[in-house]
Structure 1
Amino acid sequence: MKNKILFSCGLLLGCHSLATYAAQQESSGFLEDSTLSVLNRTVYDYRNYRHGNTNSAARNKYKLKSQRNDYAEEWGYGLMTKFESGFTQGTLGVGMDAFGFFGLKLDSGGGRAGKSRLLAVKNDGHVRSSYERFGAAGKLRFSSTVIKYGIQQLKTPIFSTSDSRLLPESATGWLVTSQEIRPLMLQLGHFTAAADRNASSSTNDLVVNYANPAMKKGKNFDFVGGNYALTDQFNLMSYVGRYQNNWYTYYIGSGYRLPLNETQSIKFDFNLYHSKDYGKAYAGKISNTTWSFMTSYVVSYHQFSIGYQRVNSDTPFDYVSRGAIWLNNAAQLSDFNAPHERSWQLGYQLDLAIWDLNGALFNIAYIKGDHIDGTRMSKQSAYYWLGYGKNGQHWERDISLQYKVPEGFAKDLKISLRYDVHRANKTQAELNTDQIRVAVEYPLVW
């Protein structure tokens, strides 16, 4: 991995001599190109656990199973302020990004807080009345290459901070992004700490999603990769990452849109991850290949989708950071990533502009997974604690309605309604849950 990173650094710097576009030459200044944004968001999340399943989070984890609540309920308000500077003029531009996040509990309690990580929870399981997080990152730009260090949010298929709850996740480290040869975009990252979506501290261990929490953590995550847009309709992505003393992950993905006429098109989306243990292998032996493929037919205001996903491994597919799973069947309540799992998805989307409701979308998806077999997993594996058995199967149904105000005083005000259902047998090892989520957000940008 070290040789790959050194090669990538040379490639990023060497591309300058071939540059077709130099963003730094167009810099207007540190303040002149800066933006200040404020996002107000409120989220209500209710989960009802079915068929004997219970809430094991917050205060409930200190209770006997028979005394635990069979539901979780959280409601909060989030305020997110971000400042993104431009770059100083000259050959080498200097800039800075900073943020301040504030979360406020509107309603919940130690017995009702769940695992959605919406609100902050104290060590004793009680919900905090409020929480906050601050961070900043310095950045340099030479030509069309940006080097950024500090606390930041980023989005790649192999390491990605999530913004799917009240406040966003963040990570601390280096990120190099180069667009010297458009349409090729190259990235190089080194991250050492993280803050989950309901955390105040930015110095926590990196977030790992499925391994036993008692597992020894890796100290850093490195990655290199990029995206190449061959045309406006076709792009390719490839990344490789290393979670220190745990595993390597290799990713390839592509997306293609085939226009048929002015109102019809076919879309294809493919994602593949391969993970392999290395070094001290704190998580145990891993040899995991997980892939998904989805095709969608778009006609006028309608989109019909069908997808397939497959896990080839004795362990589940795991990833570092909350958003680093770009598999098509990774849904609201399950990632459909269990050992040897295969899953199908049927989806439908309706653009309500068909009835003059511009900015409104309706979505429904049904996903079914089976063939789960965790009995071949070593007892020393960091995933043995999940309790996968043989012949595990489950299904999920997700229904959502979203409206974003397209114009006027309330432009960009967004309202989202979700109703999700997950059902599983005991050997699938996940909970039977009904979820209702309501989110409202309103941005202000200067």
Structure 2
Amino acid sequence: MSTLKRVHTTLALGTLCSISPTLLAQGFIEDSKATLTSRNYYFDRDYKGDSAQSATREWAQGFILRFTSGYTPGTVGFGLDAQGLLGLKLDSSPDRTGTGLLSYNPVTRQPNDSYSELGLTGKVKVSKTELQGGTLAPNLPILFASPARLLPQTFRGAQLKSQDIDNLTLNAGWLDRMNQRDSTNYQKITLASPNRRFNGAAESDSFSFAGGDYKWSDALTLKYYHAELADIYRQDFVGFIDNRPLGPGRVKTDVRYHISGEDGPAKAGKVDNRTFGVMSTYSLGAHSLGLGYMQLSGDTAMPYIAGSEPMVVSEGALSSEFLNPKERTWQVRYDYDFAALAVPGLKGMLRYLDASHIELPSALGGSDRSESEKDIELSYVVQSGTFKNVAFRLRHAWYRNDFAPSASFRDDNELRVNIDYTLALW
């Protein structure tokens, strides 16, 4: 394990030291690219009923500078990626912090005027196998680093990805620290624990994972992953995506099944969960209509890493994640592409989620609780002219439940507005 722990701290700098100036001038520089993303973000979650905090409401400006190198020539190629993040406060106050947009003092809740960080990722490639070490943002069924605020969540560690076998993508890795979306400090890895599900103070120095995606056919992709957060929980994921023609349109079926249990001393408490979800979407021209169902069984909620996005079929819901013990959730979603009405770049989405059979501690409402959410989203990307590729997105959610007032999730109306523009520097 000691050798593994040194990988993420030495690979990035070691990559630079191993590359000669001549090789830098070849594939490393020639195939590199750099972008600067400007993101203006307004977040407003207005709580209903009695609450110690009536709202979380902030407005911020973010900048994300990304450099991606090519690889040096030869059997073994070396490269280096870099990411610079900067968040600036436009409007906030101690009574409205907690949106995830801005860092703040945990004692006074005073928001910081700015926060920033730099991440480096060294990489080595042989054929179609790549090893990365340093700053990582996994996008896997057992861990998805959240990009859903002003700046993205990141992790520290090493990840191996191989596509040397036709139709098979293998992933394996090890992480020891996480950096939340509104933070500049790496910290030990913890569990999300809304509604007192787990001990959110329990920490781990090791999240390991392995698995892969196999393209069985042009229509069907199979997935399996195993992950362990040392001394806290272990998790297996089995799923598939099937996307094929049906009549004049196409039907996409997405099945996800997470099986979770305790690992070692179970520092965060008991973990016993199976989460099954299926989402089927039929697309015809500009229209897409989806119907989904998710059910949790076992004695606890589904565990996932704090700040990350749980990769279940309720993914993308704004105010809740619908992962309470015993919960059963139905959802319907409709998407429309306004290009069919001669407005290219404009898209809309409507979604409704309804959940029941929730089991909570008696202090939070007890058995047979329910929750629901209605979402609406409009997005537009400017197609031409001076502001070409400027992207606007407006999202509104109405969330309601019958939990006790002291529960983590409370009735709210939520509004998110963000304007993004990515400039290619070279």
Whether TM exceeds 0.5 here: the answer is yes
For residues 249-264 of structure 1, the aligned pairs below 5 Å read 249-261=235-247, 263-264=248-249
Query: What amino acid does structure 1 have at the position aligned with 2:411?
Result: N
**Residue of 41, 44, 53 corresponding to 2:42:** 44
SS in 1 for 2:144: coil
Q: Does 1:86 align with 2:70?
A: yes
Label 1:233 to 1:54 Cα distance change in 2 as closer, same or farther (>3 A).
Answer: farther
Residues 205-249 of structure 1 deviation map (CA, whole Å, 9 limit, x = unaligned): 224212556532111100001111223322111100000001110
What is residue 411 of structure 1 aligned with on the other side?
388
Q: Within 5 Å, which residues of 2 pair with 1:213-232?
A: 215-232=201-218
Q: How does 1:272-421 map to 2 (within 5 A)?
A: 272-320=257-305, 322-330=307-315, 331-375=317-361, 387=364, 389-421=366-398
CA distance in 2, matches of 1:81, 1:327: 30
Compute the displacement of 1:127 (Å).
0.3
- Following superposition, the deviation at residue 51 of structure 1 comes to 2.0
Cα distance, 1:133 vs structure 2:
1.0
Q: Deviations over 1:331-384 (max 9, x none)?
A: 111111100010100111111112111121110100000001135xxxxxxxx9
The alignment status of 1:437 with 2:416, answered yes or no, reads yes
Which string of whole-angstrom CA distances, capped at 9 and with x for unpartnered residues, describes residues 51-84 of structure 1? 22342xxxxxxxxxxxxxx122100000000111
Give secondary structure in 1 for the equivalent of 2:149: coil
Q: Deviations over 1:279-309 (max 9, x none)?
A: 1111222110001101111121111111000
- Contact 1:138-1:148 within 8 A present in 2 as well: yes
SS at match of 2:60: strand
Please give the alpha-carbon distance, in whole angstroms, between the structure 2 residues aligned to 1:213 and 1:163: 25
Distance 1:141 1:407 in 2: 38
For 1:254 and 1:164, how far apart are their aligned partners in 2? 25
Whether 1:121 aligns to 2:97 is no
1:53 aligns with 2:39: no
Q: Is the 8 A contact 2:133 2:157 kept in 1?
A: yes
Alpha-carbon distance in structure 2 between the residues aligned to 1:28 and 1:297: 47
| Structure 1 residue 111: Cα displacement | 1.1
Take 1:126 and 1:213, find their aligned partners in 2: how far apart are those partners?
Answer: 26
Counterpart pick for 1:269 among 249, 254, 265: 254
Q: 1:19-38 deviations in whole A, cap 9, x for unaligned? A: xxxxxxxx961011111010
Gaps of 5+ in 2: 5-24
Residue matched to 2:11: none
Change (3 A) 1:230 1:407: farther
SS of 2:368 mapped into structure 1: strand
Give distance in 2, aligned partners of 1:42 and 1:389: 40
Structure 1 residue runs of 5 or longer lacking an equivalent are: 6-26, 56-69, 376-383
Corresponding residue for 2:15? none
**Residue in structure 1 matched with residue 84 of structure 2 by the alignment:** 100
Residues 82 and 99 in structure 1, CA contact (< 8 A), matched pair in contact too: yes
For 2:369 and 2:306, locate their aligned partners in 1 and report how far apart those are by CA, in whole Å: 26
Percent identity of equivalent pairs: 30
**Distance (Å, rounded) in 1 between the aligned partners of 2:283 and 2:394:** 23
CA RMSD of aligned residues (A): 2.0
The code of the aligned residue for 2:259 comes to H
Q: TM-score, normalised by structure 1?
A: 0.85
Aligned residues: 396
Paired residue type of 2:69: S
1:233 to 215, 219, 225: 219
Q: Is 1:208 matched up with 2:208?
A: no
2: distance between equivalents of 1:182 and 1:250? 24
